[in-house]
Amino acid sequence: MSHSPLLNLPGPSAELLDDIGAAIGAARAFVADFAPELTVVFSPDHYNGFFYRLMPPFCIATGASGVGDYGSHLGPLDVPAQTALDCAAAVLDAGVDVAISTGIDVDHGTTQPLQELFGDATSVPVIPVFINSVATPLGPIARSRALGAAIGTYLAGLDRRVLLLASGGLSHDPPVPTLATAPEAALPRIVDGAPMGPEGRAARQRQVMTAAAEFAAGTGSCRPLNPDWDTALLDLLDTGDLAAVDGWTNDRIAAEADVARATFFRHFESKEFAVAEGITAMWIAAITDAVRRQPPELSAMAALAGACHELAVGFEGIADQIADVERQTRESLSLRAWTLLCYLSFETAIAETIAPRLPDLTVDDPRPRMIGALAMAAFRISLDDWLRDGGSLPDRISRAVTCMTLSPT
């Protein structure tokens, strides 16, 4: 769930606030229906609880108190200390170095989502888990995933309904200083945690509002949002393939955020690369035409198998290009997401072409889409196995497609 200091400040339009309110309302309804007995919040800090003089990559709190910034909760949270301590011990046993704190100060990044979802940040017991997302250098992405996996394993052993809440944002560039970029006047605060009184917080709030207004007007120094990158990340999360992020670096993420979907074809040196990836309309036309050429008496699955056998032979001559493009694609989040979208286009085209061969077809019949998805799954699995183990790509595709014909149509 996103957090924003602007949520409780003047500036956003009523229409935008209505959209945000509707999304939060849907999340609130989900949480109310789930009725969690414990909430674990993964969140950053904006130099309110952690400072450069001692900046752990991760910290599990056995006690916490809200600082009340931007109208958020002020005061202690209900942290089950022993459960939090047991969780930290389990994470350490899993090989993930994590700090513990008996009393951290948490800001709106932790408390605002709790208030929005529960009405009060103290409504349910909560374990705050701090992840440094501001003070560079940042920890490796793989360690963040390992932290989440270790905590998840521990929580799975509890006989309680546990809500996991990730508080943050997608592609945005908040006006938060680092040690390398901070003006001298800010160093006492971000390094040593110099106290910030009401006047200091008011000044900081004005700075954030000014930065937001400049950003909205296109005159600020913050980097623009990248909805394509955001969608790509969410699509990747939907696949459940979280191990894919283990090789990511923070520098790479910063660079990836600048790669828009419109720049996709700049990554290919020839049309053959795009054709081999199965992205262009030429290949969609090829597979649908091949299906239509199959004898009319063949069943839907048999016709699809025949078409795939026919086309698979053509992959032999462009095997090197396919391998090169696949490796480039798997190293780029934006390109991975684009490929997923292309697979969906293939599934839709196959479904529409194969539907007339299905008996007793109804308007809401799932069989055409299932066959399209199965065909692309066979291709993806064949491609994965071929890249890992070698051999003949056409043979692998043919064997995978033959397996599909075992299903009745």
- Cite the active site residues: 108, 172
Cβ atoms of 111 and 48 closer than 8 Å: no
Rounded Cα distance, 405 and 409, in Å? 9
CA dist list (Å): 24 to 38, 68, 96: 20, 21, 33
Burial of 251 (0-12, 13-18, 19+ CB in 10 A): exposed
The C-alpha atoms of residue 44 and residue 90 are separated, in whole angstroms, by 21
Residue with tokens 């674990």: 40
Q: Which amino acid is at 212?
A: A
Burial of 111 (0-12, 13-18, 19+ CB in 10 A): buried
For 31-100, give the DSSP string.
Answer: HHHH--SEEEEEE--SSSS-BTTB--SEEEESSEEEE-GGG--EEE----HHHHHHHHHHHHHTT---EE
Q: Is the peptide bond before 394 cis (omega within 30 degrees of 0)?
A: no
Tell me 164's DSSP state: E
Q: Are 301 and 409 in contact (CB under 8 A)?
A: yes
C-alpha to C-alpha distance for 343 and 386, rounded to whole angstroms: 18
